[in-house]
Structure 1
């Protein structure tokens, strides 16, 4: 209330409390859901691109592990095994309220030879599949922004 020169003003701020609560909720939804959807859309672009770059052999191939000379044990992998071992996953450990992180890589247990394909060996040339995919980062960012825009519009429509 303001009083002065014989004039009294009263301002009812109770509607602002409701607006403030809605804005806090909107901030939480953006941090938790919108950002997560944007990061997921980015990861999907990168995941698809990595899978496109993985070479697929025409026949089964052998992998000789670290102890193969000593033990004689080798492993046979079917064509497409490395491509099928590519994954994308939300990383809770590397994420926070203000940062959402996805990892795109290959499952090292399913395809232990992935590093050798990516970087080559003394006996085989590199056939990179992860590094060339980095060229799509601008497209991934655009996909993430587009997805976040759709989600923000949906959230704003619900307020």
Structure 2
């Protein structure tokens, strides 16, 4: 009878180090990639030459909706980036959301951003978020891959 003993403990430790390195590098890498898209969305957001009024829908009782004043650049200021805790699994899957603030905030908001992005029956769409994603997707993916490769090489 032939018996062979192999000790893989060193290999398993090294694999564990690689796993830990990837888990530590993932969230910052995805954030940096998402920030690329965020900055591109901000640069693509249309900016009016001057401030403007926005009128909300009529109320259910038929009375006039509210009237809001928005400074030029409000749409650009309303864009945000946020980690989506509910869609992320620490070290395994990290998700960031890039969107616009819909509710009143000191940081800026516009209740009509969806009308700009998708259009209305009267106004054609002027998308800025989706084109930003399309423009930066490959570069963002490569950034994540390169960051993870560096983390593995240093493990």
Tell me whether the two structures share a fold, i.e. TM-score over 0.5. yes
Report the TM-score range of the alignment, normalised by the length of the smaller protein: 0.7 to 0.9
RMSD: 2.7
Matched pairs, number: 146
**Structure 2 unaligned spans of 5+:** 104-108
| Residue number in structure 1 paired with 2:144 | 144
Q: 2:53 aligns with which of 43, 52, 62?
A: 62
CA pair 95-10 structure 1, distance change in 2 beyond 3 A: closer
Q: 2:20 aligns with which of 19, 28, 47?
A: 28
| Residue number in structure 2 paired with 1:126 | 125
Whole-angstrom distance in 2 between the partners of 1:38 and 1:96: 15
Q: TM-score with structure 1 length normalisation?
A: 0.76
Whole-angstrom distance in 2 between the partners of 1:61 and 1:151: 49
Q: 2:83 aligns with which of 70, 77, 90?
A: 90
Q: CA shift at 1:82, angstroms?
A: 0.9
Whole-angstrom distance in 2 between the partners of 1:41 and 1:144: 8
**Structure 1 unaligned spans of 5+:** none
Structure ID, larger Rg: 1
Q: TM-score with structure 2 length normalisation?
A: 0.78
